[in-house]
């Protein structure tokens, strides 16, 4: 399977490896979670080119020409870094992408801000990415672009490099038409995405919402299940739920050194048979962290017998702190956590242990493996790969996953317990049910979810998309439609 995937060019906003300055020089850090965590194992297996924003403080020092072989210890593919100015980052990333498209896509209409100056930077940066693809992509390459940061790239690349085949994957929810139509640049964004040969979404609802938007805004026409016609072209619009490399995660947590670290975590945080509940999130308002804290407080209020016996560990990674709303949210999370600890702590035990910084991917997996319960409480999420990483990390086939009913992962991991992130008392009941679940039932549920992830991993995910891309290109050629 793998040898048929070349040449492949992946294009994302974030880079999978950052070179950062330290007191003694610089070091390379692998980014944990999200899009890059899903794609890096695939690229290590297939090889190819990866184009991304060079955001690391030592990126230029490590690779003056902007090209870095990664992973550093065992290079498998080339990382091409797009160097963005502070003004470009502020407008394209912090502004239009994360104060406009992100909240709108997550149905947080009151938070969305679309400023013309941000839009100009967004267009500029999308063109720079497209020009980098046009310069670096091998002849006839399959170009795989990603997410809400790069919506204009498919159409731009099609014009610059008609020889390549284009797929784009949308990782976050696609808002219903009544909401998406509030985006002032909706027509341009839809035209940009429809430059691809294949468009991938997380859920059937996301796909249907996109098709409706394309029909209403630019006159695309649904052409049978999974296809749309637009400007003489036929575009595949499919559902391809993103996933993780479960086998690689299982091997990672089984490594003797990490296994010893996991045992140490349990000795420190869950001694004497105590129970450990873990959550891992960026400090983003879509992740439902404040709502989860309300559920934790309700749990200890309703179940005093669990005080001193259950510890919640929350990794809260600060993000987008240049945006005031994110700084305020991070501060509120810390304040609420301190308040709950002050209310329930007793002796050396406290209900909440908060890790207030980014944690490398290896330790994230170890922390998930150490947990008795994984807690994912997104208000609204495209997929949430932490849920799948929790399952993949449990090589002992034990543990209980609680996942928000409004996260895409809930559609696939049907043996997880569903929680409503807006119902703190219901969340407290679900946590209690997870703690009381018999061992046989825990293992039955976990085995079924692990078996699913073993069958459908990140390589299979990419293979399904590239098969659809080959099919779409054949259909395009059969119609005699020029690529540009």
Could you tell me if 351 and 341 are in contact, meaning their C-beta atoms sit under 8 angstroms apart?
yes
Give the per-residue SS3 of 268-286.
Answer: HHCHHHCEEEEEEEECCHH
Q: Where are the domains of the chain?
A: 2-242+459-479, 246-455
Q: At 18, is the secondary structure helix, strand, or coil?
A: strand
Task: Write down the pLDDT at residue 217.
Answer: 98
Q: At 36, is the secondary structure helix, strand, or coil?
A: helix
Q: At 7, is the secondary structure helix, strand, or coil?
A: coil
Task: Write down the pLDDT at residue 358.
Answer: 86
Angle (CA) 273 276 277, round 5°: 155
Q: Give every CB contact of residue 407 below 8 A, 6+ residues apart in sequence.
A: 376, 378, 380, 381, 383, 384, 387
Query: For strand 165-169 and strand 142-146, is the pairing parallel, antiparallel, or unpaired?
Result: parallel
The arrangement of secondary structure in 246-455, i.e. its CATH architecture, is 3-Layer(aba) Sandwich (3.40)
* Cα–Cα distance, 313 to 351 (Å, whole number): 8
Task: Write down the pLDDT at residue 151.
Answer: 98
Task: Write down the pLDDT at residue 4.
Answer: 52
2-242+459-479 and 246-455 have identical folds: yes
Q: Give every CB contact of residue 266 below 8 A, 6+ residues apart in sequence.
A: 276, 370
Query: For strand 400-404 and strand 417-419, is the pairing parallel, antiparallel, or unpaired?
Result: parallel
* Cα–Cα distance, 441 to 418 (Å, whole number): 16
* Cα–Cα distance, 129 to 146 (Å, whole number): 12
Query: For strand 49-53 and strand 17-22, is the pairing parallel, antiparallel, or unpaired?
Result: unpaired
Residue 115: how many CB atoms within 10 A of its CB? 15
The strand pairing partners of 323, in sequence order, are none
pTM above 0.85, yes or no: yes
Tell me the pLDDT of the chain (484 aa) as tens digits: 444 546 999 999 999 999 999 888 889 988 877 788 889 988 999 999 999 999 999 999 999 999 999 999 999 999 999 999 999 999 999 999 999 999 999 999 999 999 999 999 999 999 999 999 999 999 999 999 999 999 999 999 999 999 999 999 999 999 999 999 999 999 999 999 999 999 999 999 999 999 999 999 999 999 988 999 999 999 999 999 999 999 999 999 999 999 999 999 999 999 999 999 999 999 999 999 999 999 999 999 999 999 999 999 999 999 888 788 899 999 999 999 999 999 999 999 999 999 999 888 899 999 999 999 999 999 999 999 999 999 999 999 999 999 999 999 999 999 999 999 999 999 999 999 999 999 999 999 999 999 999 999 999 999 999 999 999 998 777 766 555 5
CATH no. of 2-242+459-479: 3.40.50.2000
* Cα–Cα distance, 434 to 438 (Å, whole number): 9
Task: Write down the pLDDT at residue 1.
Answer: 40
* Cα–Cα distance, 90 to 100 (Å, whole number): 13
Nearest in space to 184 (alpha carbons), one of 121, 116, 124: 116
Q: Give every CB contact of residue 384 below 8 A, 6+ residues apart in sequence.
A: 376, 378, 403, 404, 407, 408, 409
Task: Write down the pLDDT at residue 483.
Answer: 53
């Amino acid at each position: 399977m793998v040898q048929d995937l070349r040449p492949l060019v992946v294009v994302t906003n974030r880079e999978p490896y950052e070179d950062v300055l330290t007191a003694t020089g610089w070091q390379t850090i692998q980014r944990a979670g999200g899009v890059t965590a899903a794609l890096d194992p695939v690229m290590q297996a297939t090889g190819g080119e990866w184009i991304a924003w060079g955001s690391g403080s030592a990126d230029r020092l490590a690779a003056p020409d902007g090209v870095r072989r990664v992973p550093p210890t065992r290079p498998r593919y080339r990382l091409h870094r797009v160097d963005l100015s502070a003004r470009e980052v502020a407008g394209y990333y912090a502004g239009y992408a994360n104060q406009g498209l992100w909240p709108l896509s997550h149905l947080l209409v009151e938070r969305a801000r679309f400023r013309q100056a941000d839009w100009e930077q967004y267009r500029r940066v999308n063109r720079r990415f497209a020009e980098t693809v046009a310069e670096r992509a091998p002849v006839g390459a399959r170009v795989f672009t990603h997410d809400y940061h790069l919506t204009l790239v498919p159409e731009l690349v099609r014009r610059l490099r008609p020889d390549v085949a284009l797929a784009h994957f949308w990782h976050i929810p696609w808002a219903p038409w009544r909401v998406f139509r509030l985006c002032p640049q909706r027509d341009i964004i839809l035209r940009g995405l429809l430059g691809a040969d294949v468009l991938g979404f997380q859920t059937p609802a996301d796909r249907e919402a996109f098709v409706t938007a394309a029909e209403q805004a630019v006159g695309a026409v649904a052409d049978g299940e999974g296809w749309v016609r637009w400007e003489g072209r036929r575009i595949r619009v499919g559902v391809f739920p993103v996933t993780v490399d479960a086998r690689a995660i299982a091997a990672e947590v089984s490594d003797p050194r990490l296994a010893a670290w996991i045992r140490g975590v349990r000795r420190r945080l869950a001694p004497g048979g105590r129970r450990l509940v873990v959550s891992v999130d960026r400090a983003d308002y879509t992740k439902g962290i404040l709502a989860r804290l309300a559920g934790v407080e309700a749990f200890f209020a309703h179940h005093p017998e669990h005080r001193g016996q259950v510890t919640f560990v929350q990794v809260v990674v600060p993000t987008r702190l240049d945006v005031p709303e994110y700084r305020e949210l991070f501060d509120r999370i810390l304040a609420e956590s301190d308040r709950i600890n002050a209310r329930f702590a007793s002796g050396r035990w406290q209900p909440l242990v908060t890790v207030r910084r980014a944690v490398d991917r290896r330790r994230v997996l170890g922390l998930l493996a150490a947990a008795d319960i994984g807690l994912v409480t997104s208000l609204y999420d495209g997929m949430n790969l932490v849920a799948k990483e929790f399952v993949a990390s449990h090589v002992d086939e034990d543990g209980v996953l609680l996942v928000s009913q409004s996260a895409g992962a809930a559609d696939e991991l049907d043996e997880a317990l569903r929680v409503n992130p807006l119902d703190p008392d219901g969340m407290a009941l679900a946590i209690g049910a997870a703690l009381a679940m018999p061992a046989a039932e825990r293992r039955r549920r976990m085995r079924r979810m692990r078996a699913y992830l073993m069958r459908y991993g990140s390589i299979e995910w990419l293979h399904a998309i590239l098969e659809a891309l080959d099919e779409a290109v054949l259909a395009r050629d059969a119609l005699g439609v020029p690529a540009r």
